[in-house]
Amino acid sequence: MLLMIWMQITANTGPAECCLAVYKTLRQVQHEAGKEGVSLSILEQVDGPVSGTLRSVLLCVESVADGAAARLFAERWCGSLLWICESPYRPGHKRKNWFLGCAVYLPLAPLPDSEIRYEATRASGPGGQHVNKTDSAIRATHIATGLSVKVQTERSQHANKRLAGQLLAGKLAELAKTEREQGKAERRRQHLQTERGNARRVFTGPGFKEKIP
């Protein structure tokens, strides 16, 4: 049974060092996914203030052979993460603890096709280990609001369309909650509320080596 989980790794409002930690965490997640037999794709990413850093990245984690593999894999990352290292950008800076967060959740059901305009485009840039060279990327635009997302992975156009619909549904749900002043969506709340001092996993040094308790 196929199970899909979404993971968001975020530096929140942290400095460039936290954004570098997001990039390093993404590489570690990709490395572990390859060994654990789960499929990992980048749905969305926001670049950090320095080249080679990421403010946040949204991942799709899937498993086919074992339906629980994606969930178990993602849960090992869920929560606050800590990178202990001297700043590579500010020599002599006293701070060495850089926090980031990882949220895990199930994607929402896609919106009805009648509410969305889909466009096939050429994939480019980040979007998985092997970006397609054909017009398989999908841009989904919510007709009523004009809100749009683009999804490009190594999957087929049909799969990208499904993911784009789910991603758009999540963004609209987040927007609706904000407008109603009933709080932001769960992913956005996690994006701004990384818990400090209680890290789920700890990494150290420029090589981003995990510190085993």
141-152 pLDDT, tens digit each: 989 888 888 888
Query: How many whole angstroms separate alpha carbon 33 and alpha carbon 104?
Result: 15
Domains in the chain: how many in total?
2
Give the tokens for residue 61: 């984690």
The CATH number of whichever domain residue 76 belongs to comes to 3.30.70.1660
The CATH number of whichever domain residue 155 belongs to comes to 3.30.160.20
Domain check: are 98 and 196 in the same one? Answer: yes
Alpha carbon separation from 112 to 106, 116, 143, 144, 196 (Å, rounded): 18, 7, 11, 13, 40
**What digits encode the pLDDT tens for the residues 138-193?**
888 989 888 888 888 756 787 788 888 888 888 888 777 766 655 445 665 666 55
Domain check: are 129 and 165 in the same one? Answer: yes
Domain check: are 101 and 52 in the same one? Answer: yes
Q: Which domain holds residue 33?
A: 3-107+185-210
Domain check: are 29 and 97 in the same one? Answer: yes
Domain check: are 53 and 89 in the same one? Answer: yes
Domain check: are 34 and 67 in the same one? Answer: yes
Q: What pTM, to 2 d.p., does this model score?
A: 0.74
Domain check: are 95 and 189 in the same one? Answer: yes
